[in-house]
Amino acid sequence: MTRGGRDKENDDPERKCIVSGESQPKGGLIRFVVGPENVIVPDILFRLPGRGIYVSADRAALDKAAKKGLFSRAARQAVVVPEDLTELVEGLIARRLIDLLSLARKAGKAVCGFEKSKDWLIKGQARVLIQANDGSERGKEKLRPPNGPESLISCLSAGELGLAFGRERAIHAALAAGGLSNRVVEEAARLVGLRGAEDKQVGEIIAGKDTKDA
């Protein structure tokens, strides 16, 4: 499985990271373009016009690209890199993941709350278990991802997960199989890379504060 969370297919386009020099499927990369006034602009949806510049969805890689002038080298011109570029990209990916989960909820493909998530897991309806990274470890251990670590997402906070379900907070959620689930897993994998050493992969349970389960 690729960093983007999906199996590599022959027709999955690959691009080269300007930091590592390695080619990989676009799902594991962040695309940038040179925008107005030569400012580097993240293109989270891969839709903005212009020549794409690609960096692995990894905090260290993004920081290096910004600090070492690699964007200018790739663009073959002087460019302006926002000082908070890594934080900006992280926020955009988190927002994208929340929006996709919200779409899944509206389509009846996602539920939240301990009991509903448990019910989907028991019935085999859940493809992915989602748990807030700042939820109680004791509470989270009561639920197991359906297909091992790779079917667990734990890179969102309780507040962020709550946004996807119209609640102030949420600790547990379950996602059914389907096109949206593939996109959720892919965006979660990108967010894991951007949130640093604590989130090494989708599926890793992160130790957090002891908070009440939602």
- Taking only the tens place, the pLDDT of each residue in 128-171 is 999 999 999 999 999 999 988 889 999 999 999 999 999 999 99
Q: What is the C-alpha separation between 179 and 122, in angstroms, rounded?
A: 22
**Residue pLDDT, tens place only, 19-66:** 999 999 988 999 999 999 999 999 999 999 999 999 999 999 999 999
Mean pLDDT of 10-25: 86
Measuring CA to CA, which residue among 147, 209, 153 is closest to residue 186? 153
Residue 13 is predicted with a pLDDT of 78
5-16: average pLDDT: 61
CA nearest 57: which of 76, 43, 47? 43
Residue 1 has pLDDT above 90, yes or no: no
User: What is the torsion angle, in degrees rounded to the nearest 10, for the CA atoms of residue 98, residue 35, residue 5 and residue 64?
Assistant: -110
CA 36 to chain centre: 27
Pull the structure tokens for residue 176.
């059914």
pTM of the model: 0.84
